[in-house]
Amino acid sequence: MNQLFEKSMSNNLSFWQHKYGEYKPSTPIGEGTHDVDLLIIGGGFTGLTVARETRRDNPHLKVMVVEAQDIGFGASGRNGGFSMAQFGLEPEITMLRWGEEKAKQGQAYALKGVEYVRNLIEQENLDSDYEHTGMLRIAYSDSQVKRLRKTFKLITSLAPNANYQFLECPAAQAMLKSTQVKAAIFEPMVGILDPCKHVRELKRLAQNAGATLHENTKVLDINTTEHAIKVITQNASINTKKLVIATNAWTHKIPGLKKLRNRQHPAWSHQIVTEPLTKQELKSLGNQERFSVLDNRQMFHYMRVTQCGRITIGGGDGKCQYGDDMSLWNEEKVWKKLEEHFRWLFPDLHHKKIEFKWGGPVSVNLDMAPEIGFINDERIIYATGCLGHGVSSTQLNGRLIADLIAGNNSELSKFWIVNRKAIPTPPGSLLKYLGIKIITSVLKGIDKFEERHLAKP
């Protein structure tokens, strides 16, 4: 691994941030008191979309975004880049928790999110490396194939016009040439992008629309009264009429708003990236269209080929943080398991080196579905719980929040995730630890049982 990679890893940067190269962040907020109509905390997919859409709705409003790090440091710049049509954790869980009608509405919302992002990229000519290549959901064992058939039946009932395709073993292996693949569902209506390039393009759009951005500006406190909202940073105070909390997995760390502490919990996902593959090696994958890949495990892996010809693979063993620390950036055991899975799936590529590794948190809640809500009254709006599937849905959430700010009684603003009755996570660390430990143990047990006949690494 070269020195540049090592420097990027020591700074907890993702491959996408490293690949982006030199970046000049906006200046931190200046000293003194600032007055705005709308303040947005969090410069990711959600926050930047809210800023842009709000300014487009009402160019007279003074809109400001503050981001604690460089834009692209958070989940929006370190995810896998899957613009996928998946609402909640899995369709079966959404159906069980929320019922058929809400599950259908959720799936329609997810599909709308993909189209929203695709249309934005095309209409604004964004440099996001977007490719509308589809996604392959694969199964490795007979048990997983059986469950995959049930998933196919469910998702085709929830979105009958989405053109999902079930592929038996020969057809699945023709698309992804691995002997481990036993069947697949192909979803042609989704795409991939470079998340760091995309979020920084959203920054450009927000600025072009007239929003003010300040990076490396950490919020230290939030004070609310009946007549005012005051946000305190290290060297400034910001008075705002309305406030949006768009920090997702970091939301529990927002000071001054106790209601947010138990809305969600950060779960960590880690990824690895190989050295570039040769043209012949890329051809041997069968994945010529660079569609994304998601396996049908409970502790699922996600994989894709980058435009520069590398394989990136992530997921597997997720990690959860207990307490307020956010420090699980480097997990060698998880990275080792990802590398083993990669070499098991593609043994002909055993000689390829792993050149980059990173991790980052995603926002998870007990309802296993996104949440947009108000705090006390409608002046403060927050968004959490995209469960690692938020590349497209967080951006559509941004448009939805802009409707709420404008008071638009739109189809989006009436979506059932708005101000829904959510189950809060337990207070303290012990109950969270026990609950998460039980859930992950069960999921890992299912995977172990379903893959008991496979020759694993």
Output helix, strand, coil percentages for the chain, rounded to the nearest 5: 40, 25, 40
**Residue 105 lies inside a defined structural domain of this protein:** no
Same domain, yes or no, for 242 and 215?
yes
The continuous run of DSSP H or E covering 239 comes out as strand 236-245
What pLDDT, on a 0 to 100 scale, did the predictor assign at position 353?
97
Assess whether pLDDT exceeds 80 at residue 437. Answer: no
255 and 68 Cβ atoms separated by less than 8 Å: no
Q: What angle do CA 71, 73, 77 make, to 5 degrees?
A: 85
Average pLDDT on 419-432 reads: 78
- For the cut 80, the answer to whether the pLDDT of residue 7 exceeds it is no
pLDDT value of position 6: 65
Q: What is the mean pLDDT of residues 242-246?
A: 98
pLDDT category at 448 given cuts 50, 70, 90 is confident
* Backbone phi and psi for residue 201, each to the nearest 5 degrees, phi listed first: -70, -35
Q: Which two tokens stand for residue 121?
A: 């990229």
Please give the span between the terminal C-alpha atoms of the chain, in angstroms, as a whole number. 24
Does residue 181 sit in the same domain as residue 305? yes
Return the pLDDT at 425: 78
**Average pLDDT, integer, range 123-147:** 96
Tens digit of pLDDT for each residue in 296-313?
988 889 999 999 999 999
Flag whether pLDDT at 1 surpasses 60. Answer: no
Q: Which residues contact residue 314 at a Cβ distance below 8 angstroms, ignoring those fewer than 6 apart? A: 80, 269, 270, 271, 272, 301, 302, 303, 338
| pLDDT of amino acid 58 | 97
Distances (CA, A) of 324 to 42, 77, 232, 251, 357: 18, 22, 20, 11, 24
Instruction: For residues 145 and 258, state if they share a domain.
Output: no
CATH number for position 26 = 3.50.50.60
**Pair (160, 211) in one structural domain:** no
Give the pLDDT score at 457.
62
| pLDDT at 371 > cutoff 70 | yes
The larger pLDDT score, comparing residue 264 to residue 354, is at 354
Residue-wise pLDDT tens digits, 36-87: 999 999 999 999 999 999 999 999 999 999 999 999 999 999 999 999 999 9
Q: Structural domain tally of the chain? A: 2
Taking the C-alpha atoms of residue 273 and residue 411, their distance in angstroms, rounded to an integer, is: 40
Of the candidates 119, 113, 109, the residue with the CA atom closest to the CA atom of residue 158: 109
The strand pairing partners of 357, in sequence order, are: 272
Kindly state whether residues 240 and 354 are assigned to the same domain: no
Cβ(210)–Cβ(55) below 8 Å: yes
- Secondary structure of residue 43 in the 3-state scheme: coil
Give the mean pLDDT of 134-147: 96
Query: Does residue 67 form part of some domain?
Result: yes
Written as six digits, the tokens of 216 are 């490396």
Residue 48 domain flag: yes
3-state SS class at 28: coil
Mean pLDDT of the chain: 92
For helices 195-208 and 45-57, angle between their N-to-C axes, nearest 10 degrees: 20
Contact 184, 167 (CB under 8 A): yes
Spatial distance between the Cα atoms of 3 and 113, rounded to a whole number of angstroms: 39
The tokens of 403 are what?
């409707």
Identify whether residues 401 and 357 lie together within a single domain: no
In this structure, the answer to whether residues 418 and 300 fall within a common structural domain is no
Please indicate, yes or no, if residue 127 is contained in any of the structural domains: no
Q: Is 104 part of any domain?
A: no
Alpha carbon of 267 to those of 311, 371, 409: distances in Å?
Answer: 23, 16, 34
Residue 299 falls inside a structural domain: yes
179 and 203 inside one domain: no
Phi, psi of 98 (to 5 degrees): -115, -10
Question: Which residues are CB-contacts of 126 (< 8 A; sequence separation ≥ 6)?
Answer: 120, 198, 201, 205
Higher pLDDT, 89 or 141: 141
Query: What number of other Cβ atoms are within 10 A of residue 227's Cβ?
Result: 5
According to the model, what pLDDT value does residue 2 have? 61
* Predicted local confidence at residue 57, as pLDDT: 97
390 occurs within a structural domain: yes
**Domain encompassing residue 375:** 13-78+196-264+367-425
Q: If pLDDT is split at 50, 70 and 90, which confidence band does 401 have?
A: very high
Which CATH number is 157's domain given?
Answer: 3.30.9.10
Residue 202's pLDDT is what? Answer: 98
pLDDT of residue 456: 67
Same domain, 296 and 246: no
Do 346 and 445 fall within a single domain?
Answer: yes
DSSP 330: -
Residue 457 located in a structural domain = no
CB atoms closer than 10 angstroms to residue 327: 9
Residues 274, 258 share a domain:
no
Judged against a pLDDT cut of 70, whether residue 9 lies above it is answered with no
| pLDDT given at position 3 | 61
In this structure, the answer to whether residues 143 and 240 fall within a common structural domain is: no
Share of the chain above pLDDT 90, in %: 78
Query: What does the pLDDT read at residue 431?
Result: 67
306 contacts: CB under 8 Å, gap ≥ 6: 194, 273, 312
Confidence of residue 290 (pLDDT cuts 50, 70, 90): confident
Helix ranges restricted to H, 125-236: 142-158, 169-175, 195-208
